[in-house]
Structure 1
Amino acid sequence: MIFARIVLGHLYAHPELLADVDAIIPMPAYLERRQARQGNDHTGYVIERAILEDDQGLPFVLDPPLVVKTRATPRMRDTDSRMERRLVAHELYDALRVPNPSMVQGQNIMVYDDVFTGGNTLNAVARRLKASGAAKVYGLTLARAQWRDRP
């Protein structure tokens, strides 16, 4: 709930960020049947809570989802090189599906994620949405991961 209030507070304080946004969605998470959103889809849970707390009618979209992740993929944070991150991003792109492209056609979509590491995950989701007809895709993150200097 606290993260939802932080997201709402930021968006309320900066309405210019939403000037042309048609939908705010969570970063898609792969959920097996009967998994609870709260424990397994933290970005979806934050957006779910934001919808309940929102008193300005921001354009949150949760159900039906605009983009879904159809299978588990490796986590970006577990990669050690730029090449690994590219491979994981490609695998993620292949695992994403837009169930109803007419819902994203011509839309400007803001994707919420909790942590921005290198941009590969957001880029994969943006590419999938744009390939399905979205006009623009923006990212909104709660935090940026500390740079890790790796060999």
Structure 2
Amino acid sequence: MCALPEAERGFSRVDAVAMYSGALRDKIHTLKYEGRAGWALIFGRLLVGWMDSHPEAMNGVDYVVGNPTHLGRQPIQHIEAIMDAAYTEDVTRAFPLSPPGAHRLVKHTETARSANRTLDEKRAATAAHAAALTWAGDISDIRGATILLVDDVFTSGSQLQHVALRLRATGAADVRGLVLARVPWSG
């Protein structure tokens, strides 16, 4: 495992499969907080379907990695379950997904959650999250790579931004984001 340093630039783009509302919001919560793993299979299929139907966004991607949850997260490591399902769904191996259990980006240390926090607390939590990540394998794999960073929900983008900054500081040429659902803008 290699520690990831800080950087100055984040992701170049973030795409969303859908908007975060209604039934999708409820099912994401069912997976994350109730551990209903069957939803990971569906979300994995959605991700692969999106990647298949957006070849321009996938052009040049060297690694598709999930924004990891802590190894001890209960009831389920939801992002890892989704990424494992996406790998299984990608039967032709069209996309550079890691095999189940062999995730490239790993979070060994638990950090404070950013949900339902003040803006300053959210910022601190997202920075701590990014600082807790390691790259499994040779750190030189990142240098010059284009990485697609996958997450479940995009609210402000702060967490993805911090993780992207660390990947860029390590030498990634480009970090793109893909989320299952984006919270509608308000204001």
CA contact 2:66–2:105 (8 Å) conserved in 1: no
Quote the Cα distance in structure 1 between the aligned partners of 2:172 and 2:160.
Answer: 14
Residue 111 of structure 1: how far off its partner (Å):
0.8
Which of 124, 130, 140 is equivalent to 1:93? 130
Residue 104 of structure 1: how far off its partner (Å):
1.1
- Cα distance per residue 1:28-56 (max 9 Å; x no partner): 11113xx79xx421111111011111134
- Residue 128 (str. 1) matches residue 172 (str. 2): no
Quote the Cα distance in structure 2 between the aligned partners of 1:46 and 1:59.
Answer: 15
Q: Which residue is 2:55 aligned to?
A: 15
- Cα distance per residue 1:66-104 (max 9 Å; x no partner): 3222311111223222x2222112212221223431121
Alpha-carbon spacing, 1:29–1:112, altered in 2? closer, same or farther (3 Å)? same
**RMSD after superposition:** 2.1
Q: Which residue is 1:108 aligned to?
A: 146
Q: Provide structure 2 residue ranges, at least 5 long, that are not aligned to the other structure.
A: 1-40
Alpha-carbon spacing, 1:76–1:140, altered in 2? closer, same or farther (3 Å)? same
Which of 135, 139, 145 is equivalent to 2:177? 139
Which of 104, 121, 140 is equivalent to 1:84? 121
Q: Provide structure 1 residue ranges, at least 5 long, that are not aligned to the other structure.
A: none
CA contact 1:25–1:111 (8 Å) conserved in 2: yes
State the identity as a percent: 34
Count of matched residue positions in the alignment of Structure 1 and Structure 2: 144
Which of 20, 24, 28 is equivalent to 2:68? 28
When the two structures are superposed, what TM-score results if normalisation uses the length of structure 1?
0.84
Quote the Cα distance in structure 2 between the aligned partners of 1:41 and 1:4.
Answer: 14
- Write out the 4+ residue segments of structure 1 that deviate beyond 6 Å after TM superposition: none
